[in-house]
């Protein structure tokens, strides 16, 4: 199963505010059967507007840096081709999907169905109700190194989210052999000796003779109907 772990950075919180807020960065990591394939998508985008101070303080992407970057319409089809019909794994998916579909609509491209997105924020809140569910909080919970995350960045955040997602879904150690096309039957035939063998010598009993005697005296006091008598 192909999945795309995705994140965006934007100029604000709502694409339909005036003036329009826009996407300035997209980062995405491809998974196949919950194994990173090494394929990524990363694109900075000229938002055709100024960068608000509040947004710059979050991601550090400024007007001068974005001046020579392509506008969204120029990269929209390339982005859609990379995504395809894969499930989109996004933290707080409603936010990113709103921006992506606004940009796609303005570019005259097909929209992404909302049910194509899987929201890891909702998964985290369901698994750990009442606990912080931000990406940083989940990194702390799962012991994931996010020390490089001084500011938000779409590609770095999607790489970190991929690790968090695998932890959330129990897929941290996926069956890599199966992802390479090897069946369980094939693996079993090449490794028939995996079952543990009997110990060469039994372990010494840990119960002392005095403990055995004390237990026997206790059971005797319980009478013939004691449940211990059935296992004597």
Catalytically active residues are 152
Peptide bond into 152 cis (omega under 30): no
Give the count of beta carbons closer than 10 Å to the beta carbon of residue 164. 24
Answer yes or no: are the C-beta atoms of 19 and 49 closer than 8 Å.
yes
Please give the Cα distance from 157 to 149 (Å, whole number).
8
Answer yes or no: are the C-beta atoms of 34 and 169 closer than 8 Å.
yes
Please give the Cα distance from 47 to 66 (Å, whole number).
8
Query: 117-150 as b/e, with b when 16 or more CB fall inside 10 Å?
Result: bbbbbebbeeeeeeeebebeebbebeebebeeee
Answer yes or no: are the C-beta atoms of 13 and 29 closer than 8 Å.
no
Report the SS3 class of residue 120.
helix
């Amino acid at each position: 199963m192909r999945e795309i772990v995705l994140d965006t950075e934007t100029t604000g919180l709502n694409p339909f505010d005036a003036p329009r807020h826009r996407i300035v960065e997209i980062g995405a990591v491809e998974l196949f059967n919950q194994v990173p394939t090494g394929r990524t998508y990363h694109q900075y985008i000229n938002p055709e507007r100024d960068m608000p101070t509040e947004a710059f303080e979050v991601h550090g992407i400024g007007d001068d840096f974005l001046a020579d970057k392509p506008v969204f319409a120029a990269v929209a089809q390339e982005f859609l081709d990379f995504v395809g019909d894969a499930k989109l794994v996004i933290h707080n998916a409603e936010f990113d999907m709103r921006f992506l579909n606004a940009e796609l609509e303005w570019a005259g491209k097909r929209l992404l169905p909302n049910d194509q997105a899987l929201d890891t924020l909702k998964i985290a809140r369901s698994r750990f109700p009442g606990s912080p569910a931000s990406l940083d909080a989940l990194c702390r919970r799962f012991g994931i190194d996010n020390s490089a995350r001084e500011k938000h960045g779409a590609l770095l955040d999607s790489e970190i989210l991929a690790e968090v997602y695998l932890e959330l879904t129990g897929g941290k150690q996926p069956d890599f052999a199966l992802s390479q096309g090897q069946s369980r039957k094939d693996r079993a035939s090449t490794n028939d000796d995996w079952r543990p063998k009997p110990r060469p010598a039994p372990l010494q009993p840990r119960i002392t003779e005095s403990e055995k005697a004390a237990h026997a005296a206790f059971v005797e006091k319980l009478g013939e109907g004691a449940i211990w008598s059935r296992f004597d």
